[in-house]
Amino acid sequence: MNAHVAAEVAVPPKLQVPTSRPLVRIVIVGHVDHGKSTLIGRLLSETGSLPDGKLDELKAVSTRRGMPFEWSFLLDALQAERDQGITIDTSQIRFRTPSREFVLIDAPGHAEFLRNMVTGASQADAALLLVDAAEGVREQTLRHAHLLHLLGIRQVVVVINKMDRVGYDHGRFREIDAEIIGHLDDLGLKPAAVIPISARHGDGVVERTAAIDWYRGPTVIEALDRFAPARPATALPLRLPVQAVYRFDDRRIVAGRIQSGWIAVGDEIAVAPSGKRAIVRSIEGWPGNGDIEPREAGAGQSVGIMLDRELFIARGDVIAHAEHPAPSGRRLKARIFWLHSSALATGESVSVRIGSAETRGTITKIGNMLDPGDQSAANRAIVGQSHLRQNHIGEVEIVLANPIAADQYEANPRTGRIVLDVGGYIAGGGLVLALNDESQTVPMATEKSQALAARAASLDRALAGLSLTERLAAIRNGLDGAIIFTTSFGLEDQVILHHICDAGLDIDVITLDTGRLFPETYTVWEETERRYGCRIRAIYPHQAALEDLIAVQGINGFYRTREARIACCDVRKVEPLARALAGAQGWITGLRADQSADRRTGNLVTADRAYNLLKFNPLIDWSRQAAQDFASAHEVPLNPLHQKGFLSIGCAPCTRAVRPGEPERAGRWWWEDGSKRECGLHVAAGAAR
């Protein structure tokens, strides 16, 4: 008997965990009986995440029923599961490691419960794909892999379970490793790791044991800790699907749950698909909150709002900020997984649901069809057919009876998923790929993105030979809309601001007051306004988001992990920056090419697709010495921190003086290696910094 068996139900002491950890949602998928629930039970036990007495309670229940104890019983959320010995629901449980907190979603492996699997996986940020070492890759394994691809899940770890059944044979592991990587590669998925384990005995779950001493990769726990949390919903544009409109006396309250972004009193909003606009007059508070009316609300909150004028608004409409309206149209393209027993055919009528919106639609085209459980050449030849069979994946185009609002899934997952209904039952679901007003079928972002890139390249060439004054004037004259200059009151920013004010250019000067700036920065801010006779507009973090951040992290929680620093930056800089740039045509920064290796390849003008604008770096070809010489010659107000060795100015906790011989950016995000010393101001929200 394996020596692990005698101790397999022992619960080790709980791991020491910090008070705050990033949250990651993980779905565990794979063929039936490949050990998903067993793995979760083992993870809960070995990390001390089980409630006191829970293990003894489950053992007693098993004894009363005359069944041997199984780790999977910890996940059996339904009574029917224990009676039948299979997982038919998607159970969600909390689980923690020293650096992460997880919601683990145990999805069913049986083909007849694919609806449940899709429901669970659609909520996930990452996935564990289990394969039985003895049985190998099965049809349902491949189907689940395709579903991960369909649902847009890109963080995947493959776990080869039940290695004890094959004597922990390294050759068998390599065989399955090569096969599953080949299948995932066809889908454009690259697993972060392929891990050999025995969930029953614990090998490879938390520790590397002697049984798998030939394996050098991460354990399951280590792989989980490497998953990146999802981009915060508050960092995305406002999307508020309307659930109902209520009338109380003379008040008309529009109610719904905010899917992404923030809304505040005074915001100008646009209603899709009508395009009508209004100003938010109030956000209604819930009974029991006294007479205090909230001034703002964010993603995840259910709210009621009143507008400054009466508009015809109905259930299914989507409220967004006027500068970032929700796309809408009568034709859409989607990649779907078809669940109905009857094949979907062109010309068929279906009910289309996106969020709270619902309308009838007609299938006009079906293409790129695939049976995810069949990798044969014959399967790849079904593309020309006009029917999408049960459990197959395909791309469909639909003409809608009424316009509907939605986002491309990649732009906003929370409003980019579609459900197809036949006869009152869910028949399929997937991701929105494109949405158009009339008959054309062109992805929403492609043409705009290409046009923006082409214009950036043209302007980059035009500005190359000009002086700084000429560059700024050309930028202002070349764009019709608003241009934003963001300053942190460092050397380069002060040089640019001097030129803007000296030339009297119509460029908005904005600073992001994170609440953690140096006292010297506030001093030079005041001095700059006095010197140039201008008012520099400050953008502050949303109070509610800041309070939530501190409640989770503590006042200085960002010192603990890089993820905590990213979360702090998202709240204090990235989201405020998005508000500052909302509706702008251009964004001016003080970046220089010689500040860091990452910036050496920078251009005067780039297309910033995240904010859908042109980003200008008019000092990109300047040296620090040139900026210093100009500032000295023109008595430009400078931050006294520069004289103390601070070559770059940012938030006080994340900035230090640069030591002799260190690169210029060494003082920013100084915990990180050189390739990651970039705050949220110059990186897309949620991206690795």
Which among 644, 643, 578 has a CA at the least distance from the CA of 613? 578
Model pTM score: 0.50
For residue 596, give every residue at least 6 positions away whose Cβ sits within 8 Å of its Cβ, in sequence order, or none: 663, 664, 665, 674, 677
Q: What is the pLDDT of residue 169?
A: 96
**Cα(first)–Cα(last) distance of the chain, in Å?**
49
pLDDT at 7 over 90: no
pLDDT at 211 over 90: yes
Q: Is 221 in contact with 102 (CB distance < 8 Å)?
A: no
- Going by DSSP bridges, is the β-strand pair 155-161/126-132 parallel, antiparallel, or unpaired? parallel
Q: What is the pLDDT of residue 210?
A: 94
Q: What is the pLDDT of residue 669?
A: 64
Q: What is the pLDDT of residue 617?
A: 95
- Chain Cα centroid distance, residue 40: 25
Averaged pLDDT, 39-52: 76
Structural tokens at position 269: 């909003």
C-alpha–C-alpha distance, residues 422 and 361, integer Å = 11
Q: What is the pLDDT of residue 112?
A: 44
- Chain Cα centroid distance, residue 228: 9
Averaged pLDDT, 555-570: 77
pLDDT at 288 over 90: no
Reported as half-sphere exposure (CB side, CA atoms, 13 A), residue 192 has a value of: 20
| Out of 142-151, 215-224, 477-486, 644-653, least confident range | 142-151
C-alpha–C-alpha distance, residues 203 and 599, integer Å = 45
pLDDT at 502 over 80: yes
Confidence band, pLDDT 50/70/90 cuts, at residue 263: very high
pLDDT at 133 over 80: yes
Averaged pLDDT, 493-517: 94
Q: What is the pLDDT of residue 290?
A: 57
CA dihedral over 666, 667, 668, 671, signed as positive or negative:
positive
pLDDT at 2 over 50: no
The share of the chain scoring above pLDDT 70, in percent, equals 81
pLDDT in tens, 146-195: 878 877 788 999 999 999 999 999 999 999 999 999 999 888 889 999 99
Averaged pLDDT, 355-384: 70
Residue ranges of domains in the chain, CATH in brackets:
5-225 (3.40.50.300), 233-321 (2.40.30.10), 331-436 (2.40.30.10), 447-682 (3.40.50.620)
Q: What is the pLDDT of residue 314?
A: 81
pLDDT at 444 over 60: no
pLDDT at 668 over 80: no
Q: What is the pLDDT of residue 54?
A: 66
Cross-strand pairs, 102: 24, 95
Q: What is the pLDDT of residue 442?
A: 34
Which residue did the predictor score with more confidence, 208 or 682?
Answer: 208
Which residue did the predictor score with more confidence, 630 or 348?
Answer: 630
Which residue did the predictor score with more confidence, 198 or 557?
Answer: 198
Q: Cis ω on the peptide bond leading into residue 51 (within 30° of 0)? A: no
C-alpha–C-alpha distance, residues 275 and 288, integer Å = 35
The label of the residue with tokens 């068998």 reads 172
The share of the chain scoring above pLDDT 90, in percent, equals 38
C-alpha–C-alpha distance, residues 661 and 271, integer Å = 55
| Out of 359-373, 416-430, 644-658, least confident range | 359-373
Averaged pLDDT, 247-261: 86
Q: What is the pLDDT of residue 231?
A: 76
Amino acid identity at 542: H
Q: Is 447 in contact with 455 (CB distance < 8 Å)?
A: no
Q: Is 22 in contact with 118 (CB distance < 8 Å)?
A: no
Q: What is the pLDDT of residue 71?
A: 64
Q: Is 98 helix (H, G, I), strand (E, B) or coil?
A: coil
| Out of 121-135, 290-304, 606-620, 663-677, least confident range | 663-677
Q: Average pLDDT of the chain?
A: 81
Q: Is 464 helix (H, G, I), strand (E, B) or coil?
A: coil
Which residue did the predictor score with more confidence, 660 or 270?
Answer: 270
- Going by DSSP bridges, is the β-strand pair 387-388/344-345 parallel, antiparallel, or unpaired? antiparallel
C-alpha–C-alpha distance, residues 532 and 614, integer Å = 26
Q: What is the pLDDT of residue 246?
A: 85
Which among 368, 367, 359 has a CA at the least distance from the CA of 421? 359
Burial class (CB in 10 A: 0-12, 13-18, 19+), 280: buried
Which residue did the predictor score with more confidence, 304 or 579?
Answer: 304
pLDDT in tens, 301-325: 999 999 998 787 888 999 999 999 9
Q: What is the pLDDT of residue 18?
A: 42
Which residue did the predictor score with more confidence, 386 or 674?
Answer: 386
C-alpha–C-alpha distance, residues 671 and 406, integer Å = 40
C-alpha–C-alpha distance, residues 453 and 475, integer Å = 16
Q: 3-state SS of 669-683?
A: CCCCCHHHCCCHHHC
Q: Is 151 in contact with 200 (CB distance < 8 Å)?
A: no
For residue 560, give every residue at least 6 positions away whose Cβ sits within 8 Å of its Cβ, in sequence order, or none: 18, 20, 553
Q: Which DSSP helix (H) or strand (E) runs through 5?
A: none
Q: What is the pLDDT of residue 445?
A: 43
Which among 425, 447, 422 has a CA at the least distance from the CA of 436? 447
Ordered DSSP codes for 308-348:
SS-----TT-EEEETTSPPPEEEEEEEEEEE--SSPEETT-
pLDDT at 634 over 90: yes
Ordered DSSP codes for 179-210:
HHHHHHHHTT---SEEEE-BTTTTBTTTB--G
Which among 354, 272, 281 has a CA at the least distance from the CA of 321? 272
pLDDT at 671 over 60: no
The label of the residue with tokens 């994946």 reads 393
For residue 56, give every residue at least 6 positions away whose Cβ sits within 8 Å of its Cβ, in sequence order, or none: none
Q: Is 585 in contact with 482 (CB distance < 8 Å)?
A: yes
Q: Quick one: DSSP state of residue 596?
A: -
Q: Is 650 in contact with 679 (CB distance < 8 Å)?
A: yes
Q: What is the pLDDT of residue 6?
A: 30
C-alpha–C-alpha distance, residues 28 and 36, integer Å = 6
* Other Cβ atoms closer than 10 A to 677: 21
Reported as half-sphere exposure (CB side, CA atoms, 13 A), residue 60 has a value of: 5
C-alpha–C-alpha distance, residues 576 and 543, integer Å = 11
Q: What is the pLDDT of residue 181?
A: 93
Structural tokens at position 385: 């057919």
Q: What is the pLDDT of residue 439?
A: 37
Structural tokens at position 265: 């009193």
| Out of 142-146, 529-533, 614-618, least confident range | 142-146
Cross-strand pairs, 318: 241, 272
Averaged pLDDT, 471-493: 92
pLDDT in tens, 79-100: 333 344 444 344 457 777 778 8
* Other Cβ atoms closer than 10 A to 510: 21
Averaged pLDDT, 495-511: 94
For residue 14, give every residue at least 6 positions away whose Cβ sits within 8 Å of its Cβ, in sequence order, or none: 47, 48, 49
| Out of 136-150, 470-484, 544-558, 591-605, least confident range | 544-558
